[in-house]
Structure 1
């Protein structure tokens, strides 16, 4: 990775006594900013306090940052956030090179510098360091990977969709495990490009077809479906809204893995899909986030 020097970066720093709340802050920050906008690092310090640093390419909206942190960790922590400016440095490498590989079932998500740490019996998913946050280090992605690993132990789908692919981690994992062609979509053109590049980096560029699409509007969904397995790590509201079109693109007995929702949101997402003929098979929580495995029974 080449140096990424900037004239200056803008930093928000805070300390939290609860690991759970620290992870929630990191997760919400990750969900709220694109990779090019912010880089987030969290470290456990003496006495069990967690120190979180967020580097922004542009001056952040301090009020919005405090509101976001307040949701996850309370107003007292939010008001104690310190904002300052950091002189030029390779801040992407400084913060992200400290990320360790993350294992989820048979999958290991890692950066380029950790290739050698992937065990022989693991399927490595390499993500460029500048794009590492919001991938395997996020509880929603880890939950999806764990459910995917369990599903593939007893089931071999032929038509797979990764809806809202982001950096392409789930599509890459499925392609590596199944060695079949699959479809990956995202509403964001930058994510489509990043997912395509990551698929090539991981040797599955010929298997993962990436498209830009809103919901199920693109004609490729009809041509490539009906799907036997859908992976959708998005957010609770879009998952509820897309329950009906998703059901129309599912094969009989298809499996659907849903994530991107907090535990209190899980029941409404389950209910939205139950009314469209899907039943819950598993519900797991990873780092304060829910992931669901549902089966199409209509």
Structure 2
């Protein structure tokens, strides 16, 4: 089995990921490295992993390096061991399908092999924490999930009573994964998914509650383009390094009147709860 790793600069990571998923639709493994570098890895038998020239083109100017290594035949089992359940806000238990459920928590079951986003990444956990807080305050939907990936945020929002939710993503695989995961979690009546290009599609699908777990360039693009259908009363923004949060909060405050009400961080990543003033 071959492991093919592509390392890119963090500020370009989301755009590169979108291109890589075109070459490896079954999903990629993500890891944070030192020096502001993100590593994406794909696995497969020789001849089935993406070609090196295609990867170099996909990564473009963001490319740091590409590395190919052989892995042991038990890689699938070890890959499963990498994905652990996550408990968030004392209410949600986010887990892959092979982990034991918790009867005392709301279950969000996500297959990490389908698309980006399993709940384990810091940005996703921070978003889920803010969702739990909103639910505890009695907030409601409808909601939109911009860059829905595997659908973990949309599914969690629906289970917390913050639906219905429209998830949008540029990648067909993410749209499919969100729909399949919503069905597996029993919320397919509350979660639907559509393709939408946040960079080139104009105003993003709006709703009273907007979830945007995106990297800084896409968040700023959404702030510039605005929203269609409905203007958000509350926006949860993540995918931000701690030092990027002020800029993004300022962009949504200036353009959309959404002001920072709450900020969470884990020392590296930050999430913002932005809200329109009451009255």
Name the TM-score class by shorter chain.
0.7 to 0.9
**Given the alignment, which residue of 4, 9, 19 partners 2:2?**
9
SS at the partner of 1:240?
helix
Aligned equivalents of 1:159 and 1:37: distance in 2? 29
Aligned equivalents of 2:40 and 2:195: distance in 1? 32
Q: What are the residue-to-residue correspondences of 1:222-233 with 2, within 5 Å?
A: 227-233=207-213
**Given the alignment, which residue of 234, 241, 245 partners 1:255?**
234
Instruction: Say yes or no: does 1:295 pair with 2:268.
Output: no
Call closer, same or farther: CA 1:212–1:40 in 2, change over 3 Å.
closer
Aligned equivalents of 2:149 and 2:115: distance in 1? 11
Check conservation: 1:110, 1:125, Cα contact below 8 A.
yes
Aligned equivalents of 1:177 and 1:41: distance in 2? 29
Aligned residue pairs total 253
Q: Normalization by structure 1: what TM-score? A: 0.71
Partner of 1:91: 75
Partner of 2:140: 157
After TM superposition, give the deviation of residue 230 of structure 1 in Å: 0.8
After TM superposition, give the deviation of residue 84 of structure 1 in Å: 2.4
Call closer, same or farther: CA 1:270–1:249 in 2, change over 3 Å.
farther
Check conservation: 2:27, 2:113, Cα contact below 8 A.
no
Range with bigger deviation, 241-250 or 257-266: 241-250
Check conservation: 2:151, 2:167, Cα contact below 8 A.
yes
Structure 1 ranges of 4+ moved more than 6 A: 67-70
- Structure showing greater Rg: 1
Partner of 2:181: 198
Check conservation: 1:172, 1:204, Cα contact below 8 A.
yes
Instruction: Say yes or no: does 1:273 pair with 2:252.
Output: yes
Aligned equivalents of 1:151 and 1:9: distance in 2? 43
Aligned equivalents of 2:228 and 2:217: distance in 1? 19
Aligned equivalents of 1:153 and 1:129: distance in 2? 28
Aligned equivalents of 1:267 and 1:101: distance in 2? 31
SS at the partner of 2:166?
strand
Partner of 1:15: none
Range with bigger deviation, 263-272 or 136-145: 263-272
Where do 5+ consecutive residues of structure 1 fail to align?
1-7, 13-23, 43-51, 71-77
Cα shift readout 1:231-261 (whole Å, capped 9, x = no counterpart): 1111111111211444565557x11100111
Partner of 2:157: 174
Aligned equivalents of 2:204 and 2:237: distance in 1? 21
Aligned equivalents of 1:144 and 1:172: distance in 2? 13
Check conservation: 2:29, 2:42, Cα contact below 8 A.
yes
Aligned equivalents of 2:156 and 2:144: distance in 1? 12
Q: What are the residue-to-residue correspondences of 1:62-73 with 2, within 5 Å?
A: none
Call closer, same or farther: CA 1:204–1:218 in 2, change over 3 Å.
farther
Q: Which has the larger share of helix?
A: 1
Aligned equivalents of 1:288 and 1:170: distance in 2? 20
Where do 5+ consecutive residues of structure 2 fail to align?
33-38
SS at the partner of 1:173?
helix
